[in-house]
């Protein structure tokens, strides 16, 4: 038999290599045995407290309470983070960015790119259609927006963006 000291109370442990566990006869801390001696968290049978290698003792209920508190803190943190960084603001910014880069004075080829983006958007997003206004034409139809290419001259245009009450671009006015 091999003798080792208990890391919790310092008592000598008697190790029987034919057994799976060795238990300190003073503090009831259990050690799991393999080829080498490995410390295992044990349960004090008298006090029903969990015994940790450093001698710290607690009840299983307290461990569960600590885990519940940690989970609660994580959930509260996530809720606060969502309140500060609203995912809908991210969606709105992502949606608007593709059109806002065309705002202001733009040459014909940038306006054509803008019309491509609006046409594609209106085909994909039936809930966020954008209306294009150019001269007497007002449309949100994808094909009609694409047809506006032929009406554009090779010059600069002023692109004016309007937003709905939720902050999404809903109208683009093209001025000569």
Residue 169: per-residue pLDDT: 95
118 touches 155 (CB < 8 A): no
Widest pairwise Cα distance in the chain = 100
53 touches 41 (CB < 8 A): yes
Give yes or no: residues 74 and 101 share one domain.
Answer: no
Give yes or no: residues 94 and 131 share one domain.
Answer: yes
Lay out the sheet containing 37-39: strands in order across: 21-23, 30-33, 37-39
123 touches 140 (CB < 8 A): no
Give yes or no: residues 152 and 102 share one domain.
Answer: yes
Residue 6: per-residue pLDDT: 80
Cβ atoms within 10 Å, residue 157:
21
* Residue 150, helix vs strand vs coil: helix
Mean pLDDT of the 73-88 span: 77
Residue 50: per-residue pLDDT: 58
Q: Which region among 15-19, 70-74, 103-107 has the lowest average model confidence (pLDDT)?
A: 15-19
29, 51, 82: which is the final residue of a domain?
A: 82
pLDDT at 2 over 50: yes
């Amino acid at each position: 038999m091999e003798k080792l000291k208990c890391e919790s109370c310092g008592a000598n442990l008697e190790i029987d290599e034919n057994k799976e566990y060795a238990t300190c006869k003073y503090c009831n801390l259990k050690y799991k045995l393999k080829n080498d001696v490995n410390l295992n968290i044990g349960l004090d049978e008298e006090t029903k407290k969990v015994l940790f290698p450093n001698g710290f003792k607690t009840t299983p209920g307290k461990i569960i309470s600590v885990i519940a508190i940690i989970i609660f803190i994580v959930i509260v943190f996530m809720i606060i983070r969502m309140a500060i960084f609203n995912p809908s603001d991210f969606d709105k910014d992502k949606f608007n960015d593709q059109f806002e880069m065309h705002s202001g004075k733009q040459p014909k080829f940038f306006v054509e790119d803008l019309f491509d983006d609006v046409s594609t958007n209106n085909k994909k997003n039936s809930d966020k259609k954008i209306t294009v206004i150019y001269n007497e034409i007002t449309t949100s139809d994808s094909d009609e927006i694409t047809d506006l290419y032929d009406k554009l001259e090779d010059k600069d245009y002023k692109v004016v963006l309007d937003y709905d009450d939720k902050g999404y671009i809903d109208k683009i006015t093209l001025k000569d």
